[in-house]
Structure 1
């Protein structure tokens, strides 16, 4: 597994755990809660994306999915030098990619229900810089990992198929 993928997966596991804890702790971690000080960035982000400022079933489900992904990421990192680690990293990164795409699609399909207020107050730059741009990292980086690891899996699979055909 390439070093940059290992670095990305490590960062991803930390951020997903941190993010899931904020969401799942609900009123304890949200603005005014006794633990809100541990998540100042999230409290600010929640002013642009209300899914993060309220208890929302989709946001909660995504947070539970984050924690499951972290378990698989840790497993993949422990087995990073083995073929199984590469395959599990590929699978979990595909999940991360599509979960983020789904997050965007739910928001778009709802007519920007959770983020529209920032546009209504005329804060297009804030909307783009806070609600959109950071989330694009969760599409771009996983996609790059999927392409990188997918090529590795393809090459190994193709090589194995050629060996079987010649045998």
Structure 2
């Protein structure tokens, strides 16, 4: 089907619209690395967390866990999200291998929607719990730390995937309109 789409739409669809933009490929590579690293920290539990024999591999996570207690010990939601991250990484690797194909564009959009909503759900769970896992940093008066460590970096996982969704959504729309005109 991909070949048929490319062949049939060639006169009205630009080649660039049938592959992932470079900035999105770079984002997907960075995402896959970070999500694998993050999931390993969370899923290895006691050996990767503060005081564990492998904690030295995750100094940023150990520091982050002082602001977000979901990362300080076992948490069912954090564990589930880590498993979802690993599934997402498998999909991202597939997308990267298909970055120059239309299927990579479509699946890239789907996985970006998943990343976006997984992060939104993370924030919603925390907000719905009355900031159960992060409140202690506010209570100790470290509002700047809370914003700079617990909120701002996590917003990247909403803002960039949203930009990817918009970009790939527009790209898919252009191809759809081109095919429709063709």
**Could you tell me the TM-score, scaled by structure 1's length?**
0.96
- How far apart, CA to CA, are the structure 2 residues paired with 1:62 and 1:161? 39
Give unpaired runs (5+ residues) of structure 2: 1-19
- How far apart, CA to CA, are the structure 2 residues paired with 1:47 and 1:53? 7
1:124 aligns with 2:134: no
Deviation at 1:162, TM superposition (A): 3.0
Structure ranking higher on relative contact order (CA contacts 8 Å, 6+ apart): 2
Deviation at 1:18, TM superposition (A): 0.2
- How far apart, CA to CA, are the structure 2 residues paired with 1:108 and 1:117? 14
Deviation at 1:99, TM superposition (A): 0.2
- How far apart, CA to CA, are the structure 2 residues paired with 1:68 and 1:158? 32
Work out the number of aligned pairs and report it. Answer: 163
State the match for 1:115 in structure 2: 134
Deviation at 1:93, TM superposition (A): 0.6
Counting only pairs closer than 5 Å after superposition, residues 3-18 of structure 1 correspond to structure 2 as 3-18=22-37
Compute the RMSD of aligned alpha carbons.
Answer: 0.6
Residue deviations 1:96-145, cap 9 Å, x none? 00000000000000000000000000000000000000000000000000
1:144 aligns with 2:163: yes
- How far apart, CA to CA, are the structure 2 residues paired with 1:127 and 1:150? 33
Deviation at 1:161, TM superposition (A): 2.6
- How far apart, CA to CA, are the structure 1 residues paired with 2:84 and 2:181? 38
Secondary structure of the corresponding residue to residue 55 of structure 1: coil
State the match for 2:115 in structure 1: 96
- How far apart, CA to CA, are the structure 2 residues paired with 1:150 and 1:77? 18
Give unpaired runs (5+ residues) of structure 1: none
Deviation at 1:158, TM superposition (A): 2.0
Residue deviations 1:58-114, cap 9 Å, x none? 000000000000001000001000000111111001000000000000000000000
State the match for 2:17 in structure 1: none
State the match for 2:76 in structure 1: 57
1:69 aligns with 2:88: yes
- How far apart, CA to CA, are the structure 2 residues paired with 1:157 and 1:108? 39
**Could you tell me the TM-score, scaled by structure 2's length?**
0.88
